[in-house]
């Protein structure tokens, strides 16, 4: 959450505007009935939500129509992970993804502007491994001219540790990150740099709709992922929906607006069947393909898509 926006004078939403854990779980149950098998808690920083373990306990009790438990995971910046890893695992969380854009503290701060060192993130990762929150993934956003020199150090550090390091192209999410196309380091260049030191071999996709292209080290000591959301759009295979903390449903990471489920949820007359029908209608009518249209927007900066304000990543998560 950018400090220039969310300073000491920022007026946050009242707690009553946020979905309660019970409301989140009710919506999750409806989504699961539609076929959702994986739920990720993200942010912002989800570990800042008070009593997050309580929500995890509630979600961990959900079952698919076939009676299977959900794939329940969480994305975190790692700052609180060392102290919470055990309680998260005990509540029913299965695994975590940790955001880390470099091992050098100065580079890390330039990328994220946070008030904690890389060492705290690494301690959190170790604690998560010890608690059994795995397999762990580490997400590194690569920004040309800022942290590209961290690609090989990050690969060397996580290779052979049972952790998948994923390199993500710097994305134009929202308006606060001042994104420019010339700051994107394409995944193919990341792979080329890795191949200069390590022999990489392609791996098959782990699941339908998987966003990461998988590559394994030839010596068998792990794998990396490449998420090419700018240079190789995957809109057509996208199977993700995002629910904001106050109950808006977004069908795209680059959406301009969300669908208000809180109003439906809090109307006494609406049953789960009503919620289910609303979700089905929203999902069935979606036509999001921002990433595929990006090049056309670059050619026509005055287009509606180019000028309309998009939702910020820190608001609905990656």
DSSP-based three-state secondary structure for 276: helix
Structural domain range at position 118 = 15-235
User: Per the domain annotation, does 138 fall within a domain?
Assistant: yes
User: Per the domain annotation, does 273 fall within a domain?
Assistant: no
Provide the pLDDT for residue 16. 84
For the whole model, what pTM was predicted? 0.86
User: Per the domain annotation, does 24 fall within a domain?
Assistant: yes
Mean pLDDT by 10 residues, the chain (318 residues): 56 80 98 96 92 98 97 97 98 98 97 92 98 97 96 98 96 61 92 97 83 94 92 73 93 83 96 97 78 53 49 56
User: Per the domain annotation, does 51 fall within a domain?
Assistant: yes
Beta bridge partners of 40: 73
- Buried b vs exposed e over 253-279: b needs ≥16 C-beta within 10 Å? bbbeebbebbebbeeeeeeeeebeebb
Provide the pLDDT for residue 221. 96
User: Per the domain annotation, does 265 fall within a domain?
Assistant: no
User: Per the domain annotation, does 104 fall within a domain?
Assistant: yes
Provide the pLDDT for residue 299. 43
How many domains does the chain contain in total?
1
User: Per the domain annotation, does 314 fall within a domain?
Assistant: no
Distance between CA atoms of residues 108 and 103, nearest Å: 7
Distance between CA atoms of residues 165 and 154, nearest Å: 8
The CATH number of the domain where 43 resides is what? 3.20.20.70
In the block, residue with structure tokens 């994107």: 184
Could you give the C-alpha distances from 120 to 161, 241, 293, in angstroms and in order? 18, 31, 39
User: Per the domain annotation, does 207 fall within a domain?
Assistant: yes
Provide the pLDDT for residue 5. 56
């Amino acid at each position: 959450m950018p400090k220039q926006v969310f300073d000491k004078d920022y007026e946050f939403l009242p707690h009553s505007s946020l979905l309660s854990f019970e409301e989140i779980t009710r919506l999750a149950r409806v989504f699961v009935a539609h076929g959702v098998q994986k739920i990720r808690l993200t942010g912002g920083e989800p570990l800042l939500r008070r009593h997050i373990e309580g929500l995890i306990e509630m979600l961990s009790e959900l079952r698919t129509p076939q009676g299977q438990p959900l794939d329940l995971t969480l994305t975190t910046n790692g700052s609180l992970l060392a102290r919470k890893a055990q309680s998260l695992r005990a509540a029913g969380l299965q695994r975590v993804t940790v955001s880390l854009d470099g091992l050098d503290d100065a580079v890390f701060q330039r990328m994220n502007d946070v008030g904690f060192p890389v060492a705290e993130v690494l301690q959190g990762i170790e604690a998560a491994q010890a608690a059994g929150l795995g397999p762990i993934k580490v997400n590194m956003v690569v920004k040309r001219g800022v942290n590209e020199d961290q690609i090989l150090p990050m690969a060397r550090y996580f290779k052979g540790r049972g952790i998948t390091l994923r390199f993500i192209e710097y994305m134009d999410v929202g308006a606060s990150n001042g994104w420019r196309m010339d700051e994107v380091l394409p995944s193919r260049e990341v792979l080329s740099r890795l191949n200069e030191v390590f022999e990489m071999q392609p791996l098959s996709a782990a699941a339908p709709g998987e966003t990461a292209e998988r590559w394994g080290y030839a010596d068998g000591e792990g794998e990396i992922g490449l998420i090419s959301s700018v240079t190789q759009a995957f809109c057509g295979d996208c199977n993700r929906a995002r629910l904001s903390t106050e109950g808006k449903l977004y069908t795209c990471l680059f959406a301009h607006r969300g669908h208000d489920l809180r109003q439906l949820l809090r109307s006494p007359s609406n049953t789960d069947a009503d919620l289910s029908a609303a979700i089905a209608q929203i999902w069935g009518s979606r036509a999001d393909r921002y990433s595929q249209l990006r090049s056309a927007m670059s050619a026509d900066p005055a287009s509606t898509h180019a000028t309309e304000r998009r939702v910020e990543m820190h608001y609905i998560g990656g």
